[in-house]
Chain A
């Protein structure tokens, strides 16, 4: 009987503190399991047998409204209100974006209060190229770091720093992957022309 008593003793404590824990995870930071291939190779690469678990920051979005081009964000899907998508913000209001198939027009000006989001894997991604610009109010939180699996733990790489580090030998696979990431980032920013004073994504 004493084995059953201890969980029962903790349970009222858990129920008591549940509202605080819920509010903290809703307004500040929470963890989400990311599934799907639309953000490969940045998230959930084929080399990893686990689905990535990411730490998301809701405070920056809810309270500070800090949207930047190049952020990976979690947003409510405009087509299905129960689904949460993880995509990258490519363009902010009043930017011109060159779109990818299957979008019907080759160039789009993002309207006021909206953003253009895309997955890193353009073929397998359910993103703005299908449903157009999404309202900024749908965006819920921003990815800060990947916390699982442990081999992929850490903040997402910043490729611009790798290029300047000339001491890395060029045969190193980490260097090649970082250069590939830098190439992809350049390709993404090349498709966006911004009318505002530029903030690089």
Chain B
């Protein structure tokens, strides 16, 4: 039994898993109260260069080692990113060069998102997985086909 539990755990860690995302920083893409999403861990391990700008990634928070955050990749290593075009958190002309091995992430709901505008470029070693699909099913009718919309 222990072995089956370990094998399952390894599958969930390294291939893919289903998890619940909640929080206001990714509105309107992801809902506040919780969205069930499918995380894809293996494709970034096998092919790390397949990470593209605009992908949704799950990352371990740089400021809190126990927390995980889900944001969108805006800049890849070597890109020059404008930190905040609206000028609210930093001067609107400030640009940052994303160093080697780091990415720039940003939430979709800018006023309510703590992201790279606060803590700077994030090392790619902190990336956990990429979001693959969203699962939405009505709680009362579990036998009906549930919608899976792919990101």
Q: Which of A16, A20, A23, A114 contacts B62 (CB 8 A)?
A: A114
A residues in contact with B7, CB < 8 Å: 19
Chain A interface residue bracket vs B: 20 to 34
**A19-B10, A22-B10 known; A78 and B2 CB under 8 Å?**
no
A77 at the binding interface (Cβ < 8 Å): yes
Cα distance A154–B102 in the bound complex, in angstroms: 37
Which of B82-90, B119-127, B139-147 contacts the other chain?
B119-127
A73-116: which residues lie under 8 A (CB-CB) from chain B? 76-81, 111-114
Chain B's closest residue to A75 (CB) is: B125
Cα distance A81–B77 in the bound complex, in angstroms: 12
B3 touches A135 (CB 8 A): no
Q: Determine chain B's interface SS by DSSP, over half rule.
A: mixed
Kindly provide the distance from the CB of B129 to the nearest chain A CB, expressed in whole angstroms: 14
**A20-B3, A20-B6, A22-B6 known; A76 and B62 CB under 8 Å?**
no
B7-21: which residues lie under 8 A (CB-CB) from chain A? 7, 9-10
B residues in contact with A147, CB < 8 Å: none
B125 touches A77 (CB 8 A): yes
Most buried by B among A16, A76, A111, A137: A137
Q: Which of B2, B9, B65, B66 contacts A135 (CB 8 A)?
A: B65
A136 touches B65 (CB 8 A): yes
* A interface with B by C-beta (< 8 Å): 16-17, 19-20, 22-23, 65, 76-81, 111-114, 134-139
Q: List 18 A-B contacts (CB under 8 A).
A: A16-B3, A17-B3, A19-B7, A19-B9, A20-B2, A20-B3, A22-B10, A23-B9, A23-B10, A76-B123, A78-B102, A78-B125, A81-B127, A112-B63, A113-B61, A135-B63, A136-B65, A137-B61
A residues in contact with B101, CB < 8 Å: 77-81
Nearest 7 pairs of A and B residues by beta carbon: A113-B63, A76-B125, A81-B125, A78-B123, A19-B7, A135-B62, A19-B6
Q: Which of B2, B60, B66, B124 contacts A65 (CB 8 A)?
A: B66
A residues in contact with B63, CB < 8 Å: 111-114, 135
A138 touches B126 (CB 8 A): yes
B residues in contact with A113, CB < 8 Å: 61-65
Kindly provide the distance from the CB of B119 to the nearest chain A CB, expressed in whole angstroms: 8
B95 at the binding interface (Cβ < 8 Å): no
